[in-house]
Structure 1
Amino acid sequence: MGNVLPPRGRALRRGEPLANPGSFDELHRRCKEVFPPQTEGVKLVVNKALSSHFQVSHAVHMSTLGPSSYRFNTTYVGDQQLSTTEVFPTLVGDIDNCGSLHAQVLHLLTERIRTKAIFQTQQSKFMTWQFDGEYRGDDCTATLTLGNPDVISESAPKWVATLNIGCGGAHASYYHKANEQVQVGVEFEANTRLQDTTFAFGYQLNLTQANVIFRGLVDSNWCVGGVLEKKLPPLPVTLALGAFLNHWKNRFHCGFSIIVG
């Protein structure tokens, strides 16, 4: 897999070297963050930094459609900081009240080689694992994933286009940042095993002066929804209200969240 990214802030000139596009996971993340998360019931999240290396969080979710749950998350970061978003080694663990665990370890072998391991259990039973090896070149990134091969990806400063192809189907996404206030994302997924194809369009509006973020969603399953997040400075509190309506299944649900920290 190769990723290519022109230098930020100016057009690529002939003869100029290309910059490294970064991790492949970041390409999908930009598009995913535009879409509003499904919200239902009431959710309370409390974040606490124990030191410069350790952080923990508690999340309680009271649902009307399913059983309520509690999740405990802990994060450890090391001393090797390459950028504001890359610190090594990093260990992340998340466990719920049923004993299901999701763990992730990121480690820097050399300046150009990064590794990642992901383990997941469900009710104390081992479910999945995944190992990633990533090589950072001067103008490209090569990633080898054991279990989920990523084939093609391309990127540019204010937009990101990705494509994954596997034996089970294909997944494509497109992210575009129009300006500081508007971001949009388009996602297409085809599953050959289920003979199912889905399409979704999401957008995000940032109202900085009002401390408000709104995310909206429209997909091919006749589902529309949105999540409104409001920060309450100087308090470290964020209020979130979400609602989703599925016209095809005639189903509606909404939720309210309080995030502290």
Structure 2
Amino acid sequence: MASAPPTPPLVTPAPPTNQPADIDDNKVPQDSGDSGRNPGTFEDIHKKTRDVFPNPFEGARLVVNKGLSNHFQINHSLTLSSLQQSCYKFGATYVGTKQISPNEAFPVLLGDIEPSSGNVNANIIHQFTDNIRTKFVTQIQNKKWAISQLANDIRGYNYTATVTIGNPDLMTESGVLVAHYLQNITKNLDMGAEWIYQRSPNVPGGQMGVVSVGGRYVRGPWTFSGNLTLFSLSESSIHGCFHRKLNESLQIAGEIESNQRTKECTATIGYQVDLPQAHLTFRGQIDSNYQVGAVFEKKLPPLPFTFQMSGWANHVKQTFRFGLGLMIG
């Protein structure tokens, strides 16, 4: 293993905004009296905490969703921003007829394109059997094949094993290989590990490996999760999270990250307020770097409109961002 190698650029692109609600690609196990249950994937052990934190945006955003049939949906999105290039995207989603559960059907094909630049994002998800699920992700940016990733999940009765290959290139003998495994130990505890191997001429020594071990403990409304990542024998990072559902309307979450390589430690506290009768959701967070963010979301029935308002502030650098969004459909 190379000394103090850079963190590998693991491919984790965000899916297009037109992903339908009936796709549940990242299930999180619930506290159950049955000690045998599928725990989900290792990369999602912190999912409950991350779902509470807001995702602030800047500028103006308009999203229009239109369902053409029970299986096909199109999407138009317009973004106006002073921090990034303003753009229009057209997206489409197809959901197949293979019904796995009341909320899941396969295959799923979804993607979007920027007509002005030609940038394309595409995802293909299919569950071939009850235990095998495959996902292919690709991105084309600036007329170049930027990302290609193939992941395969094997979901057993009480475990999930995943192998992912990212950006393989036989000509330069480069690419990223990720393998992770998560095992249900008891009705409350899941444990697992992850191994990342990268081979590239740009990496010191030509190759590097990163090992991470972690777990999740669920007890009633409480969820605790953590993982330890080893970059080398002398460098590591620790990531810990907790989530607590206080009642049907309020959730709180916390996260702490300590990286020995960068000599940084950040703590974040977040909360989510849901008021179903008012059709309102509010998420907010504050961290130890004096950064504050919040997203307000209000549905406007009987119209199929959702209004969004976002704010973010860094009180150390004195930078502020504000955003407004409207989703139709």
TM-score range, shorter chain: 0.7 to 0.9
Residue 216 of structure 1 corresponds to 284
Do the aligned partners of residues 6 and 39 (structure 1) sit closer, same or farther apart at CA in structure 2, a change above 3 Å counting?
A: closer
* Residues 66 and 109 (structure 1), Cα distance of their counterparts in 2 relative to 1, 3 Å cut: closer
Pair 1:154 & 2:216 matched:
yes
Matches within 5 A, 1:97-176: 97-146=116-165, 147=176, 148-150=178-180, 151=194, 152-154=214-216, 156=218, 158=221, 159=223, 161=225, 163=227, 165=229, 167=231, 170=237, 171-176=239-244
Distance change (3 Å), C-alpha of 1:253 and 1:121 = same
Correspondence 1:67 to 2:85:
yes
Higher relative contact order (CA 8 A, sep 6+): 1
List alignment gaps of at least 5 residues for structure 2: 1-26, 166-175, 181-193, 195-213
Asked whether the equivalents of residues 309 and 325 of structure 2 are also in contact (C-alpha less than 8 Å), the reply is: yes
C-alpha deviation, 1:210, in angstroms: 1.3
Identity over the aligned pairs, expressed in percent? 39
SS at match of 2:40: coil
Q: How does 1:240-255 map to 2 (within 5 A)?
A: 240-255=308-323
Matches within 5 A, 1:224-243: 224-243=292-311
Q: 1:193 deviation in Å?
A: 6.3
Q: CA deviation at 1:234?
A: 0.5
1:258 corresponding residue in structure 2: 326
Could you tell me which of 92, 99, 106 is aligned with 1:81?
99
Q: Is the 8 A contact 1:118 1:131 kept in 2?
A: yes
Consecutive unaligned residues of structure 1, counting only runs of 5 or more, are: none
Q: Decide whether the 8 Å contact of 2:298 with 2:308 is kept in 1.
A: yes
Q: Kindly provide the CA deviation profile for residues 175-209 of structure 1, in whole angstroms up to 9, marking residues without a partner as x.
A: 33332211233334456665554433221110111
Q: What one-letter code is carried by the residue in structure 2 that aligns with 1:163?
A: N
In structure 1, how many angstroms separate the alpha carbons of the residues matched to 2:292 and 2:97? 43
Indicate the SS of the match to 1:67: coil
Other structure's SS at 1:82 match: strand
Distance across 1 between alignment mates of 2:149 and 2:226: 20
Q: TM-score, normalised by structure 1?
A: 0.84
1:161–1:173 contact (8 Å) kept in structure 2: yes
The answer as to whether partners of 1:5 and 1:139 remain within 8 angstroms in 2 is: no
**What TM-score do the two structures reach when normalised by structure 2?**
0.68
* Residues 139-148 or 203-212, more deviating: 139-148
The one-letter code matched in structure 2 to 1:118 is: V
Find the residue that maps to 2:52 and give its secondary structure: coil
Post-superposition offset of 1:59: 0.8
Take 2:51 and 2:30, find their aligned partners in 1: how far apart are those partners?
Answer: 22
CA contact (8 A) 1:5 1:155 kept: no
